[in-house]
Chain A
C-alpha cells in the first residue's frame, strides 16, 4: 500500500510504512519519559515469575471438544475390557470356568460399549472408517484404532465360544489373543490424553499409564467379584485389594508431582469425582481384602471398585477442562520452564 504523493518535484509525504519506528519521542507532547524516582521505566516487564498477565483472562489453549460420558466412559470401558481379557486367560489356565466366562463377557460388553461411545463422540460418525485410512505412531488415536480392531474381534470370538461351548480351539486362540492385546487397550488411552497440550493431562504423562493400569485392573477385579462364584474369587480378592490400593496411591503421586497444575484436580467436578473415586476404591479394596467367603460383601466391594475406577476416569477427564480454561496452568509452568532454562 502506498502512502506517497507523486508530484512534479518528486515524492512528497513519504511515509515510512512498515519501517515506521514506534516508541520514539517526536516532541509532540510533554516529555514525561524521564525515569521516575524509585520506579522502573514502563518498558520493563514488571511481572514476577510466579505471577503473570493474561489476555483478559482468556484461555490460551482451546478446550477439548470431547464430551462426557462418551470419552471418560471410553477410557473406563477400554480399561475394563483389556484387563478382563487378561483375567479371563488367567482364570482359564487355572481352571476357573465361571470366572473365565464372566470376564470374557465383561470384556466383550465393555469393548462394544466403548466402541459405540467413541463413534458417537465423532463430529462425523459416518466417517469412522477414516480412522483406518493410515497408521500413525505419532497419533495414539490411530494406534488405538488399530489395537481395537485387532482386539475387539478376538474378545468377541472368545466370549461367543465361552457362551456357546462351541469351537473350543478357536475360542482358546481368541482368548490368548485378547489377553495379549488387552493390556495395551487398557493403557494406550493414557498416551491418548497425555499427548495433548492440556496441562493436567500432559503433565501426568509419567504416571498416567500406571494409574490407568491400576484402575483397569480394579475395574476388572470388581466385575469378577460381582459375577464369580465364591470358590473362584480368591485371585480377585488379592487383585482387587492390590490394584485398588495402587490406584489410590498412584493417583496421589501423580497429582503431587504436577505441582501447580495438580490444583486442577482439586476444583469443580474433578474434585467431586476424585473424592468419590478415592472413597469408593479404598472401601472396595478393603472389602476385597476382608470379605472372606461372604459373597454379598465380595459383590459390594466389587461394585465399589468398578464405580471407583469409573469415577477416577471422570475426575481425570474433568480436570483437563479446569486446567485448559484457566490460562494460569498454561502460562505459569511455561514461564518457570523458560526461566530455568535461561538461568541454567
Chain B
C-alpha cells in the first residue's frame, strides 16, 4: 500500500476535516492581541485553576515581572514581560523618559499552544495520544500517552513538555471540556482586557485584520500579526497573535516550519542509506578467498 505522505501532511482543507471529521463545528481558536495586554496574569491563574495544573516552581527569575519563564507541562499560558527603551509609536509614557530621550515601554504577551494547522507534535506522536479534535484543536489524551517524549523536541514553538514525576506530555487543551459545551476557555474568560479573544477562527482573522489596520492608522507601524498567515511553515496557527515587535523578542520563532514537511525526503534518504548498507556489505564480500 502506497501511503501518500504529501497529502497526509499537507492537505489543503480544515484540520478537522483532514483528520476524518465529516460533520464538524467551525474551527475554534484564539486571537491574542498583545497591544491591550496589561500583564495581570489572570489567564495563567485561571488556566491553572480550571485545569488543575500542578505548581510549576515558585521561582524568582530576577529578570522581570515574569517569574514563570516559559510554556511547559505545568504552564499552559505564559505571560511574557519585555522592557524596552523604546516608545510605542508616538506614545509618551509619563515620567519614564530616559536620558537618551527614549521612553521605557513594556510589551506583555500571553503565550499559549498554537494549535497548529500542521502540528508537528501530533504528526510525530507514535501512540496516537495526541489527536485533532472536531474543533480543529490539538489535545493529548493522557490515558494513552506513554511518555515517549517525541512530541517535545518536535514542537517548533517549545510548547509541550514532560511533567516531572508523571512522565507524560502535557499542554493546553484549548479547554476541550469547556468549548465542547459551548463555554469559552478559562483563560479567555478571565482576561479583563479582551487581549485573549476566543471564537471561530475565520471571524478572529477578520477581527485581527481590522485591528491591525486600526493600529497602523494610529502610527503603530511595528504592529504585526503572527501565525495569521495560512501559507506559513505550519499552515497558520489556531491561536495567533498581534505583536508589537519581532517574534523572537517575545520568545517566539520568527519562521517556524513543521518538521514533518521534510519527512518525505527523510524517508527517501533513509531508504537510500539502507540500500547503501546492503550494497557496501555485499561488495566487501566480493574478492579472492585466502
Contact = CB atoms under 8 A, between A and B. Distances in A.
B275 interface: yes
B150 to A, nearest CB: 5
B26 interface: no
Contacts of A231: 290
A127 B168 CA distance: 11
B5 A24 contact: no
A344 interface: no
B155 A62 contact: yes
A210 B281 contact: no
A210 B273 contact: yes
Interface string B270-285: 1111111110111111
B175 interface: no
Given A23-B219, A127-B146, A42 B86 contact: yes
Contacts of A138: 5, 8-9, 123-124, 260, 263
Given A90-B281, A238-B284, A337-B255, A124 B146 contact: yes
B92 A31 contact: yes
A53 B222 CA distance: 15
A15 B262 CA distance: 49
Interface string B54-89: 000000010110100111100000001010001111
Contacts of B249: 53-55
Contacts of A78: none
B18 interface: no
A187 B270 contact: yes
B214 interface: yes
B178 to A, nearest CB: 18
A43 B147 CA distance: 44
Contacts of A202: 259, 262
Q: Which of A28, A90, A128, A242: most chain B CB closer than 10 A?
A: A90
B14 interface: no
A198 B253 CA distance: 12
Contacts of A320: 153
B145 interface: yes
B246 A61 contact: no
Interface string A182-221: 1110111011001111100110011011101100110010
B25 interface: no
A20 B193 CA distance: 10
Interface residues of B, number: 111
A186 B277 contact: yes
Interface in A9-52: 17-26, 28-33, 36, 42-45, 47, 52
A124 B167 contact: yes
B91 interface: yes
A166 interface: no
A121 B90 CA distance: 54
Nearest to B92: A29
A87 B160 CA distance: 41
> Which label, helix, strand, loop or mixed, suits the secondary structure of the B interface?
loop
B254 A335 contact: yes
Contact of A93 (B129, B259, B285): B285
A142 B126 contact: yes
A335 to B, nearest CB: 5
Contacts of A1: 192-194
A285 interface: no
B277 A24 contact: no
A114 interface: no
Interface residues of A, number: 107
Interface stretch (A129-137, A153-161, A273-281, A306-314): A129-137
A94 B289 CA distance: 10
A47 B266 CA distance: 34
B92 A30 contact: yes
Given A64-B152, A127-B147, A133 B90 contact: no
A324 interface: yes
A86 B253 contact: no
Contact of A195 (B72, B144, B260): B260
Contact of B158 (A61, A216, A217): A61
Interface in B222-258: 222, 244-246, 248-256
A32 B150 CA distance: 51
A30 B248 contact: no
B44 interface: no
Interface in B109-130: 120, 123-129
B246 to A, nearest CB: 6
B152 A234 contact: no
Given A131-B148, A196-B154, A47 B246 contact: yes
Nearest to A67: B149
Contacts of A171: none
B285 to A, nearest CB: 5
Contacts of A198: 153
Q: Shortest 6 CB-CB distances between A and B: which pairs? A: A123-B147, A123-B167, A23-B89, A55-B251, A183-B274, A127-B146
Interface of B: 3, 5, 8-9, 33, 35-36, 61, 63-64, 66, 69-72, 80, 82, 86-94, 97, 101-103, 120, 123-129, 144-150, 152-162, 166-169, 192-195, 197, 211, 214-215, 218-222, 244-246, 248-256, 259-260, 262-263, 265-267, 269-278, 280-285, 287, 289-290
19 contacts: A17-B36, A23-B220, A25-B91, A43-B89, A45-B222, A45-B246, A55-B251, A87-B281, A133-B144, A138-B9, A141-B124, A141-B150, A187-B273, A195-B266, A197-B259, A209-B266, A210-B272, A217-B280, A324-B153
Given A29-B97, A139-B124, A335-B254, 19 more contacts: A17-B36, A33-B90, A62-B155, A64-B149, A65-B161, A131-B126, A131-B127, A134-B127, A136-B123, A137-B5, A138-B9, A138-B260, A142-B126, A183-B277, A191-B267, A194-B262, A195-B266, A209-B266, A209-B274
